[in-house]
Amino acid sequence: MLTDAYVTGMGVISAIGRSVGENLHALLHKQSGITAVAAGPGKEAVMAGRVAFDDATLARDLGFSRLPVSRTSLLGMTAALEAWGDNRHIPGLKTGLIASTSVGGMDKSEVFYDDFLAGRPADYGVLVCHDSGTTSETIAEFLGISGYVNTISTACSSGANAIMLGARLLRSGRLDRVLVGGSDALTRFTINGFESLMIYDSEWTRPFDEARKGLNLGEGAAFLLMESEKSFQVTGNRPLGRVRGWGNAADAYHQTASSPEGKGATLAIAEAIRTAGLTPADISYVNAHGTGTPNNDLSESVALKNVFGASVPFFSSTKAFTGHTLAAAGAIEAVYSLLAIKEGMIWPNLNFAEAIRDTGLVPVTEPGKCTVDAVLSNSFGFGGNNSSLVFTL
């Protein structure tokens, strides 16, 4: 008998709020968190989804005083603590943590490197935050979790891959419960990076719109507490939903661009639905990757048509609320997917006006009441890393 991965806790911090409740409120009321954000000395402000609290406030509210600490860790600790809630460590329940990040402590490293290059006195001490594994170790230590603590880094699909790995570890019996998620801070490194690729929209991002120009970056973190049946019978927690299916496939087309025929995405989506034991017709809602870049949204639309044919389910991208939060995106959108099931709601795709001509797909643009049984969530990243998850009650 295979063990399912039951979600019994969720936590999220993003540009639209510092709790699941605040994020839900913004989704229901179409309140985007994207604003003009300072992007470094000598640079114009960029449109981005910044979390409204500075590092000192986040640390203070967590009661965390050890320095140095990266913003990526602080965001992660905030979301992980909400997901963990008042759970306790129980001997006999093997508890792990899998976080994911693409920038790690780059928010600190880039300040160091600026000083270093300019020949100013530079604080080498902050570089202990740099590597991505330290982000997870910091979050795990904060919650008193040790043993299996791991970090996934597959660019923009990292969060989804962390959830997938957690579900597999539960299924294999290696863990009984596991916190899974992702965290990324806004950095000059990534803002300049996406600008250099000419896919950073200087205005509001417009996912799935014919006139879309690119993404807006965001920052944030989200975690799910996943338990096996054995575990929640001990903890007494009530399942909010299940991670039911997963697929990970490589596009093997280009280091950053997605293939025009959406090969990797199609494989990942089909695999996620198959492993969930469902058929495409069972999917009520698709929370799309939908970054707002010309390339992703076209390729993803083609993949949706490949899998669903003429009956593409209700779909939307929530990136115009939060910005693209990179490694956190798959985790934040997992929370939104589970909220869709719990609330019986489909989240709107903001800033949409006209369908992409080649595919004609129209996303949901108003929050809509609807029975949501199964949600497909897509996350695609650099390196041709395509991952999809299926959530059910």
Partner 1 sequence: MKSRVFINGASTISHQPTFGEKGFSGSIARLEKGSEPLQPAYRDYIDPVMLRRMSRILRMGVTSAAQALRQAGVSSPSGIIVGTGLGCLQDTEKFLSNFLTLEGLIPPTAFILSTHNTVAGQISLSLGCHSYNITHTQNTVSFEMALLDGMMRLEESGGDVLVGAADEHIPFLDRLAAEWGYDNSVLTSGVSFFVLSDTASETTLAEVLDVDVFTGAGGDRKKITDSFLARHGLDRNEVDMVLRAGRQPGEDREFEGATVDYTELCGLYPTASGFAFHYGADFLEPAGTNKKVLIVNELNPLNLGLILLKGFEA
User: Mind telling me the catalytic residues?
Assistant: 156, 289, 324
Residue 121 vs 236, nearer CB to partner 1: 121
Residue 110's CB is within 10 A of a number of other CB atoms, namely: 17
Residue 115 vs 354, nearer CB to partner 1: 115
CB of 161 to partner 1, least distance (A): 6
CB of 353 to partner 1, least distance (A): 29
Query: What is the rounded distance in angstroms from the CA atom of residue 350 to the CA atom of residue 27?
Result: 10
CB of 143 to partner 1, least distance (A): 10
Interacting residues with partner 1 (CB under 8 A):
102, 109-110, 113-114, 117, 124, 127, 131-134, 136-137, 140-141, 145-155, 161, 165, 168-169, 172, 174, 188-189, 192-193, 195-198, 248-256, 263-264, 267, 381-385
Angle at alpha carbon of residue 63, lines to 59 and 69, rounded to 5°? 40
3-state secondary structure of 255: coil
Residue 87 vs 161, nearer CB to partner 1: 161
Residue 20 vs 160, nearer CB to partner 1: 160
Residue 14 vs 134, nearer CB to partner 1: 134
Backbone angles phi, psi at 232, to 5 degrees: -75, -15
CB of 19 to partner 1, least distance (A): 27
Looking at residue 174, the DSSP 8-state letter turns out to be S
Residue 72's CB is within 10 A of a number of other CB atoms, namely: 34
Residue 203's CB is within 10 A of a number of other CB atoms, namely: 11
CB of 325 to partner 1, least distance (A): 15
Query: What is the rounded distance in angstroms from the CA atom of residue 368 to the CA atom of residue 147?
Result: 43
Residue 91 vs 236, nearer CB to partner 1: 91
CB of 103 to partner 1, least distance (A): 10
Backbone angles phi, psi at 286, to 5 degrees: -115, 115
**Tokens 């029975």 -> residue:** 371
Residue 148 vs 204, nearer CB to partner 1: 148
What Rg, from alpha-carbon coordinates, does the chain have?
20
Asked whether the beta carbons of 373 and 282 are under 8 A apart, the reply is yes
3-state secondary structure of 259: coil
Query: What is the rounded distance in angstroms from the CA atom of residue 141 to the CA atom of residue 256?
Result: 34
Token couple for 122: 């530079």
Asked whether the beta carbons of 51 and 219 are under 8 A apart, the reply is yes
**What stretches of 32-117 adopt beta strand conformation (E)?**
34-37, 46-49, 95-100
Going by C-alpha positions, the residue among 326, 320, 344, 241 that lies closest to residue 30 is 320
DSSP string, 273-326: HHHTT--GGG--EEE----S-HHHHHHHHHHHHHHHTT---EEE--HHHH-B-G
